[in-house]
Amino acid sequence: MDDYSSLYDCFYEAIFREIRKSEVQKLLGEKKTDRERVELLLTLPSAKNLSIPDSFEGKSTLKSDRLLGEAVENGALSDLYNMAILTAPEFSTAMASGFVARAEALLREGDPVSARLDAERALHLEDLLEPEEFFSAYQTIGCALCMSEEWELAAKYLEEAVQKLRLTKMDNASKAGIVGKLVPLLKKARKSAGEMKSVKEFNLKSGVKVSDRTHKLPQVSHGVNPAIPAASVSAKYSHTEEKGRHLIAATNMKAGDIVIVEDAYSWSTQKETALKSHCLHCLRRARAPIPCKKCST
């Protein structure tokens, strides 16, 4: 048996040879109900002598839960997540929870594509998920799509999540907690989708190439913070009487990690001489720069 055989597999392997014996098959054929057949199988010598050693490494919800707990406690993406999923029985609560947890870890590690895949796998097992895990999977997909700048699709998923949240029978306090995570992401996705649409419409009217007018912001390190969409999960809100509201590190950060990224409210050229040579809107070099010919049409 392989390392991930179930207890049923072990039992089946033990009695398989005896089941194939003609006398056993004859006895099974005489039984009228499944209960009688099972009772007969349990009387077979190989079934009576079947023992599961302490070193059994088969699929087990308890083992999967233990591995998943260790993985989450470890705080970083590791093989423990993979082992927890592999060890979980097929289509089980443990497997569904494993996908949710690994998706969150992948997102923290800056892998939105893999995170989204795992979260979608979890949603395929939605009947096995706790409500908090179910909406966590939606949140992960929303964050992953925002990281990939797929704003419209992110908004669609998050709107779907909010609609489903309204229909759940969760208590109001639990709903409020989930809303506090989903809605900021939804607002960011809607705003960014609207801005992108406006830019595209403007470019079509003005004949400007998209590559000339758009810029790509860097991604925050370790994934987007649901409570502060412009910030990384490495930062969190804090409040003290001395400093008031401020951000503090939620995890260990390395030099060069990107903590906050947001579109500039406004910009200007650094050198005064550039005011005479560059458009103040798109920063192209132009003869009549305030604004240039393309930005004024």
What residue spans of 207-281 are helical by DSSP H?
Answer: 210-213
> pLDDT digit string (tens) for 186-212?
998 898 888 877 766 665 665 555 444
- Quote the pLDDT of residue 212: 45
What average pLDDT does this structure show over 144-157? 90
Q: What pLDDT shows up at residue 295? A: 67
Tokens for 129, please give them. 């998920």
pTM: 0.54
Burial (Cβ within 10 Å: 0-12, 13-18, ≥19) of residue 254: exposed
The amino acid occupying position 225 is: N
What the block records as the tokens of 92 is 């089980």
pLDDT band at 141 (very low <50, low <70, confident <90, very high): very high
Q: How far is CA 98 from CA 5, 267, 282, in A?
A: 18, 45, 47
Every domain of the chain and the residues it spans: 7-48, 61-199, 269-297
Both ends of the chain: CA-CA distance in Å?
Answer: 74
CATH architecture group of domain 61-199: Alpha Horseshoe (1.25)
pLDDT of residue 12: 63
Averaged pLDDT score across all residues of the chain: 79
Q: Are 234 and 190 in contact (CB under 8 A)?
A: no
Give the tens place of pLDDT for each residue, 81-106. Answer: 888 888 887 788 888 999 999 999 88
219, 258 contact by CB (below 8 A):
yes
Most confident of 5-9, 93-97, 271-275: 93-97
Higher pLDDT: 254 or 134? It is 134
